[in-house]
Structure 1
């Protein structure tokens, strides 16, 4: 009788804890029946640009499909965009206003690069997608008259990029601080190419893969062929949710000595 009552108490406590975990932790990726894995990136403004959007990154073997919808961009202007970051364990993330080292009110590409890392993939509309095409503004998408932009392209990537896509992030460039509707040299020349205005190359928004822990070292890689990636990629959130379930399990230790946290994907 005591064991039965203990088991009921354990169940009653564990159920709300499990529900709280599922509500609090966003899924970093989901897999479809083909084995492809899709990651969501929420793009948030930099340099008070007002730009924002969403990028969906789908990894299928060594093919990466990128879909971006954004708004608040400089109308009728090309917007360089890239996947930045590292696949070798360095911790990169989106910058904040503190990256403006010369305090001129603009986080330039050079000032932001220590935070978001070098170009890994150039998201051009055609042709080369390497770092070398980072400033190929003639092959970058152009915003519509209302400042919206839609982009989709499937790109061949290395296995390393496919395995570490959650450690990378998306950055779009191009700002209009004086509101004249075009890129000009009001903020000087780009430090990347003096033929281009600073406005054309300064970052306008940035986003990290949902669930990727900010400020933690990138670890492991995404499963790309076996098993499911449904569930959690954020180690910090996983630890917090697991602690809640372990607390529930502790109440039922007399009944069951297993102390496993909620089921998580195995790498």
Structure 2
């Protein structure tokens, strides 16, 4: 009986990552997948913010301090650049994706400034080339652009700090750019951006967000509440509208394996 269960576990572990991916829930984690070569892979389901209708899936594949990020998103503003970042803390604070309660001035939009205290400051700017620091937070000439159907595909491998590698499960992905009046462009229908009054709020407001495992919604941050600095310094982008750029693990298997191991222990007794 034990040998038969062991064989089943071995077969389960050999299921290709490509087949397991379709069944992996948000925030799932597995180690040593084919996709990452050697290392850990984390899936993030991107959920709509600001009633944008945007959604997608991101994969973070970490091998040492080499991080490969893949994003497939849809429901974005067609033909427009979408700033995107990895947010959160590398010192144990528990940030998470915001909800409508983050809209402090009750204007119907969770802005970037209102979202920062909830999802934390920028750790990595997911640009298509060049610098990936906070300073490139809205370097939209190097951010991916949605196609005419509002779909966006992104992939890049970068070197990250050891702190980011050690705390990757505490981080999350946020994309920006909304179209509340559905005219397929950024305009001033929702007023000016707090980042730069020359820019419309639509261009900089978050459109979707997804968490890696570890950031529990509504939990108290370790060490007390932190605001993620709340600062917008370093992410201004006067060329946001004119700019543009070139434009996803086996948690289910892990759960099954744990249940089978528990069953093995019962049979052994």
Query: TM-score higher than 0.5 here?
Result: yes
Q: Give how far 1:185 is off.
A: 1.3
Deviations 1:23-65 (A, max 9, x none): 9997423323642211000000000000000000000111111
2: CA distance, partners of 1:115 / 1:131:
17
SS of match in other structure, 1:186: coil
Residues 128-183 of structure 1, C-alpha deviations (whole Å, 9 max, x = no match): 10000111111111000000000001111001101111100000000011111110
The alignment's TM-score, normalised by the length of structure 1, stands at 0.72
Q: What residue in structure 2 maps to residue 11 of structure 1?
A: none
Shift of 1:210: 4.6
| Structure 2 counterpart SS, 1:200 | helix
Classify 1:190/1:171 alpha carbon distance in 2 versus 1 (closer, same or farther; 3 Å): same
For the Cα contact (< 8 Å) 2:44–2:58, is it kept in 1? Answer: yes
Whether the 8 Å contact between 1:44 and 1:51 is mirrored in structure 2 is: yes
- From 53, 56, 61, the equivalent of 1:58 is 61
Q: Which residue number in structure 2 is paired with residue 9 of structure 1?
A: none
In 1, the alpha carbon distance for the partners of 2:76 and 2:128 equals: 17
Q: Distance in 2 between matches of 1:59 and 1:215?
A: 27
Separation in structure 2 between the aligned mates of residue 25 and residue 148 of structure 1, nearest angstrom: 20
In the other structure, the counterpart of 2:71 is 68
Which has the higher Rg, Structure 1 or Structure 2? Answer: 1
1:66-105 map, 5 Å: 66-105=69-108
| 1:197 to 1:164, Cα distance in 2 relative to 1, 3 A | same
Q: What is the total number of aligned residue pairs between the two structures?
A: 218
Gaps of 5+ in 1: 1-22, 220-228, 257-267
For residues 112 and 80 of structure 1, what CA distance do their matches in structure 2 show?
14
Q: What root-mean-square deviation, in Å, do the aligned CA atoms of Structure 1 and Structure 2 show?
A: 3.4
| 8 Å CA contact retained: 2:170, 2:213 | no
User: Match for 1:109 among 108, 112, 117?
Assistant: 112
Match of 1:183 among 181, 186, 192: 186
Which residue in 2 is equivalent to 1:29? 30
Instruction: Please give the alpha-carbon distance, in whole angstroms, between the structure 2 residues aligned to 1:38 and 1:218.
Output: 25
1:102 is displaced (CA, Å) by 0.6
Please tell me whether the aligned partners of residues 68 and 156 of structure 2 are also in contact (alpha carbons under 8 angstroms): yes
Instruction: State the shift of 1:88 in Å.
Output: 0.3
Deviations 1:61-109 (A, max 9, x none): 1111100000000000000000000010111000001111111000001
Instruction: Determine the C-alpha separation between the residues in 1 that align with 2:116 and 2:173.
Output: 12
TM-score by length of 2: 0.71
The residue that corresponds to 2:158 in the other structure is 155
Deviation at 1:197, TM superposition (A): 1.2
Unaligned runs of 5+ in 2: 1-23, 223-248
Distance 1:158 1:148, change over 3 A: same
- For residues 191 and 157 of structure 1, the distance between their equivalents in structure 2, rounded to whole angstroms, comes to 29
Pick closer, same or farther for the CA change 1:114–1:215 going to 2, 3 Å: same
Of residues 142, 146, 167 in structure 2, which corresponds to 1:143? 146
